Chain A
């Protein structure tokens, strides 16, 4: 969670404000604060589009380009997802953000016993290329980019996306996919991991290396501080962990003999807009600056565009409440405002019913409208980085930068992010923060409207997105037919070649592409990796 902690006197005057990252806010800021903190325009800010990009990565910000909106979409069967995709595009959405169901995320086919009750529930079910062909039918893949929320099996999905696009006649150099592909944060925060840390990171290295050569418009990794923040860490930790995770992936590819300069420009980030508005804005500005500075320092990246912190600033899920759910519409609008004031490039917003379920059509549209109102009505496109130069915001941005570096130092001390995740160090820290924060909410030290203040005693029932048992039946039926109709010899051969490549530590991507084209299933490909790599065992953190 993450709004500030307030100490007030008996007359309700605020005596002290402490942001979740641990920074105290003063009642008034003046030019003295900037002087004290050593603020320098060129070094700390510079113009938008100039290093270190604190003010944004484009010189003209939203003036030259409205943000891309990508509501998280996908449920049930590929057919239903395809319909929702088209609906969102017809309403002005400019990119897709694809949700997969849990069996798919976990590399299980729809007929796996562990998949029971989960097929199509929190996203669409994908068993094979056949399903992708249905889901993306009639989508202009050379114009619409797709975020794929998939991690443990992201390599498989990226290969499948390429296979699907090529089948529809697109060239591989004109398609743009952004698989989330951040397994370290899954191990800290979201839980959809399969393989042990090292081979899992290697698979990410494979996708980065492959994209560099074969898929120039794809962004192979979207480092998601987002979910770690949702799991309870502070905004400063969110950025520090995300940067440390990104460095872990860079190191994997650099160890293969490449220069970071050649691939890091395709990295993107997925960061959270939930929290105190000032802390959020300062967080994004500090993050852009640090990413650029540290890439230069650590990896000698010089190309300007490779230093951009690009990505989606969105979501806000853990700010949403089950109590008085309509308040979430208002919250969402403020979170979106924070994203706009931070110069977000791409955005998405959790829908008001998301504390309960995946969004209904109406709720998803409301989120889209929220963005459109900000950009087209309220004036967020008028000027670039409107908060720049504020005594407060600039002081806070510098303080945030220092906090983020402090948190990064802690991870460095335990041996870097791969080590910190393997031992459970980060997981422990995040769980502790979550507990402390929850206690503050329950004790009323942190205020949540409708939860611990201004309560109405009655929760509103929201309109639920119903789970349909029929989805599983249809998916399983299609899977059975597929296994009967496909060339099973070709499947077997491609899987065998994949296994060999995995064992010999070759880049698995070309082999996955062949598997996908032969209509091998997600479960079959994942199981090859399970056999070769084994499975992750969670470190005990209690």
Chain B
């Protein structure tokens, strides 16, 4: 039996339909040997959390382009706590201004990857921080 691959649930929360970034990152993660489950568009936060539990994901990655990253992440972290799945690594990518990064960290998002971040950086961060 080989080593279990890192399982990433890649999700598009909310109504924003720009999924180029999510799909590109999904390709890159897969190429780096991770297992990626892509939720598709228009997901509610509770549904993302449910899928993460059902899929036994190690990582929940959110891709948000609409600017609503703070309220969405806040809601996600509330549910993560409620469901007692704090062991899952939470990361977010998308259109995220620098000034919002401290707020996201305070909320409990571990990895924040604004547009233009190299695949290597994302892959390395997840490799080092995900607990399988």
Contact = CB atoms under 8 A, between A and B. Distances in A.
B95 A356 contact: yes
A473 to B, nearest CB: 14
B105 interface: no
Interface in A305-339: 321-323
B116 A431 contact: no
By secondary structure, the B interface counts as: loop
Given A114-B15, A190-B18, A542-B36, A122 B95 contact: no
Interface string B92-118: 000101110000000000000011101
A122 B18 contact: no
Task: Find the residue from A186, A191, A431 having the highest chain B CB count within 10 A.
Answer: A191
A122 B118 CA distance: 27
B17 interface: yes
Nearest to A461: B98
A451 B20 CA distance: 18
Given A102-B16, A118-B68, A461-B98, A434 B24 contact: yes
A116 interface: yes
Given A190-B18, A357-B95, A438-B24, A117 B71 contact: yes
Interface string B5-43: 000000010111111100110111010000010101110
Given A355-B115, A438-B24, A467 B17 contact: no
B41 A538 contact: yes
Contact of B66 (A118, A356, A462): A118
Contact of A322 (B19, B41, B116, B118): B116
A193 B40 CA distance: 12
A191 B16 contact: yes
Interface string A79-115: 0000000000000000000000011011010000011
A150 interface: no
B67 interface: yes
Contacts of B72: 117
Contact of B23 (A102, A116, A118, A435): A435
A277 interface: no
A103 B15 contact: yes
B43 to A, nearest CB: 10
Nearest to B68: A117
A356 B97 contact: yes
A321 B116 contact: yes
Given A122-B67, A322-B115, A105 B95 contact: no
Contact of A434 (B23, B66, B97, B99): B23
B44 interface: yes
Contacts of A439: 28, 119
Nearest to A1: B20
Contacts of B44: 114
B26 to A, nearest CB: 6
Interface string A189-200: 111110000000
Nearest to A318: B20
B67 A467 contact: yes
Contact of A106 (B15, B71, B120): B15
How many A residues are at the interface, by size bracket? Answer: 35 or more
A464 interface: yes
Interface residues of B, number: 35
Interface in A408-439: 431-432, 434-435, 438-439
A127 interface: no
Contact of A461 (B19, B40, B97): B97
A121 interface: yes
A542 B17 CA distance: 17
Interface in A185-230: 186, 189-193, 230
A142 interface: no
A232 interface: yes
A442 interface: yes
Nearest to B28: A435
A46 B55 CA distance: 60
Contact of A121 (B67, B98, B99): B67
Given A431-B23, A431-B27, A102 B14 contact: yes
A461 B104 CA distance: 18
A71 interface: no
B67 A191 contact: no
Given A191-B19, A321-B116, A451-B116, A121 B66 contact: yes
A231 interface: yes
Task: Find the residue from B12, B17, B95, B97 having the highest chain A CB count within 10 A.
Answer: B17
Task: Find the residue from A105, A431, A464 having the highest chain B CB count within 10 A.
Answer: A431
Given A434-B23, A467-B67, A542-B38, A117 B14 contact: yes
Contacts of B19: 191, 231
B114 to A, nearest CB: 7
A173 interface: no
Contact of A435 (B27, B38, B67, B71): B27
B116 A323 contact: yes
A459 B16 contact: no
Given A434-B24, A435-B27, A191 B116 contact: no
Nearest to B16: A102
A47 B95 CA distance: 45
A467 B121 CA distance: 30
Contacts of A541: 23
10 contacts: A117-B71, A190-B18, A191-B16, A322-B116, A323-B116, A355-B115, A431-B27, A467-B68, A541-B23, A542-B26
What are the 5 tightest A-B residue pairs by CB atom distance, in nearest-first order? A191-B17, A102-B15, A435-B27, A117-B71, A431-B23
